[in-house]
Amino acid sequence: MKRRDFFQLAAGALVAGGAAATRPRLHAQGAAPAAGNGKLKVDIYSRHLQWLRTADEVADAAVEMGFDGVNVTVRTYPGHVDPDNVAKELPPFVNTIRKRGLLVRSITTNIADADVGAERIVAAASSLGITHYWWGTYRYDLKQPIKEQLDALKPRVAKIAALSEKYKMTAAYHTYSMPGTVGSVMWDLLSLLQAFDPKYVGFHYDTGHESHHINGLWEVNLRAAGPYIAALAVKDYAPEQNLGLRGEGGPYTGPAGALGGRGDGPPPVAGGRGATPGGGAGGPQRGGGTGRGADQAGRGGRGTADGPGATWGAGNGWRTRSVPLGMGMVNLPQLATALKDIHFSGPIEIQAEYPNGGADNAQDSITLPREQVLGAMKRDLLTLRRGFAASGLL
């Protein structure tokens, strides 16, 4: 498969004026289309297919659902490719999927720093014409000054950019919404990324996590990042409230629908309906949860001070839960318009993290019928296409 370069953009800092100021440069550079017909293509995240163990099985499922490609997990079991054996396992896995007419443009990794293990993975992916890899995630120590912690990250970001440039790939930093997660607000990490060409470092923009920036602030972040939006993870969250009153007190008697939530029963626990809304975005990762601030790589941590699956810092019993695409806070038409305006041309993947028989949280087996599990993810794809229809992106 011929290697495509998704970002033909000049290096330089993103001006403070945001996307409006970057559009002339982007138009002049003529960002390359994601595929031959000029439309963006949508991948299934293989993390949700880890109950299928062979490349043929994964490809069959992707074709059955109607996806254009597969984002392959290069992570320890149940990831599809073992990072310690990536040079041997990745080529046949990728080539088998591509033989079915599917794209493989992205891999999801646990890379946090440009060490020997990271280079081994990036080299193997680059040799196959894969263009993007998942990178991150760092955490702050909220008891320490933020500016100093960001400054301490500069050499780490520089080494990732150099590794990407060496292998002509793009490191896409996944955005989370948990407290203390570097890049959640995007402005912080963007200040470091601007020193490097967006062909080599950028954001793996997560629509579900970024939807926590309400009142349109998510769109401001997206447009401000402009050419540094390297890839897109599409999923949806919905808010809910549980005060934990266990039936005590009188019922709310105001207008119907004025308050959201599921009642006043005990707060749900991890693994229950809506539990760990952001936790399903990755696999086991070095440094996982809490502790060392910006020196801590990982998924941002499932367990926070607010408890498993809580909406971070919301208070009053509010939290979010993962829901099928189109049933939560993510405004797909508005998202598509913003992506079109910033000339986004990178990979898109769907992350189906709502309860779905174990497929939602990377299990190697499922508890629901195959057709039901795949049908849910196909519905997400159809919802995305409908939401993006007016933009002409898909």
Q: Is residue 101 part of a domain?
A: yes
Q: Which residue has the higher pLDDT, 351 or 30?
A: 351
What would the two tokens of residue 248 be? 């005590």
Residue 300: pLDDT band by 50, 70, 90 thresholds?
very low
Please give the Cα distance from 252 to 258 (Å, whole number).
Answer: 10
pLDDT score of 352 more than 80? yes
For the chain, the domain total comes to 1
Look at the pTM and tell me if it is higher than 0.85.
no
Query: pLDDT tens, 123-133?
Result: 999 999 999 99
Share of the chain above pLDDT 70, in %: 75
The structure tokens 């498993």 sit at 308
pLDDT at residue number 38: 73
- The CA distances from residue 189 to 197, 228, 229, 274, in Å, are 14, 11, 12, 29
Query: pLDDT tens, 100-144?
Result: 999 999 999 999 999 999 999 999 999 999 999 999 899 999 999
Q: Is residue 286 part of a domain?
A: no
Measured in whole angstroms, the distance separating CA 235 from the mean position of its chain's CA atoms is 8
Residue 170: pLDDT band by 50, 70, 90 thresholds?
very high
Query: pLDDT tens, 183-197?
Result: 999 999 999 999 999
CB 105 within 8 Å of CB 347: yes
- The CA distances from residue 208 to 30, 299, 305, in Å, are 29, 15, 21
Calculate mean pLDDT across residues 255-284: 39
Q: Which residue has the higher pLDDT, 29 or 342?
A: 342
Q: Which residue has the higher pLDDT, 275 or 394?
A: 394
Q: Which residue has the higher pLDDT, 317 or 62?
A: 62
Contacting residues for 381 by C-beta, under 8 A, at least 6 apart: 42, 44, 65, 66, 67, 350
Q: Is residue 12 part of a domain?
A: no
pLDDT at residue number 210: 93
Q: Is residue 128 part of a domain?
A: yes
**Phi, psi (degrees; rounded to nearest 5) at 224:** -65, -35
Identify the bridge partners of residue 296 per DSSP, sorted by sequence position. 139
Please give the Cα distance from 330 to 273 (Å, whole number).
Answer: 20
Domain, as residue range, for 180 = 19-241+322-391
In this structure, what CATH number is given to the domain that contains residue 125? Answer: 3.20.20.150
pLDDT at residue number 332: 97
The structure tokens 């996590």 sit at 209
Query: What mean pLDDT, rounded, does the chain reach?
Result: 81
The structure tokens 């370069």 sit at 5
Please give the Cα distance from 228 to 248 (Å, whole number).
Answer: 50
The structure tokens 């005990």 sit at 266
Please give the Cα distance from 375 to 368 (Å, whole number).
Answer: 11
Task: Please state at what angle helix 370-388 crosses helix 332-341, rounded to 10 degrees.
Answer: 60
- The CA distances from residue 378 to 324, 352, 358, 389, in Å, are 11, 10, 16, 16
Contacting residues for 162 by C-beta, under 8 A, at least 6 apart: 114
Q: Is residue 4 part of a domain?
A: no
Query: pLDDT tens, 54-109?
Result: 999 999 999 999 999 999 999 999 999 999 999 999 999 999 999 999 999 999 99
Q: Is residue 261 part of a domain?
A: no
**Stretch among 4-13, 28-37, 96-105, 335-344 having the lowest mean pLDDT:** 4-13
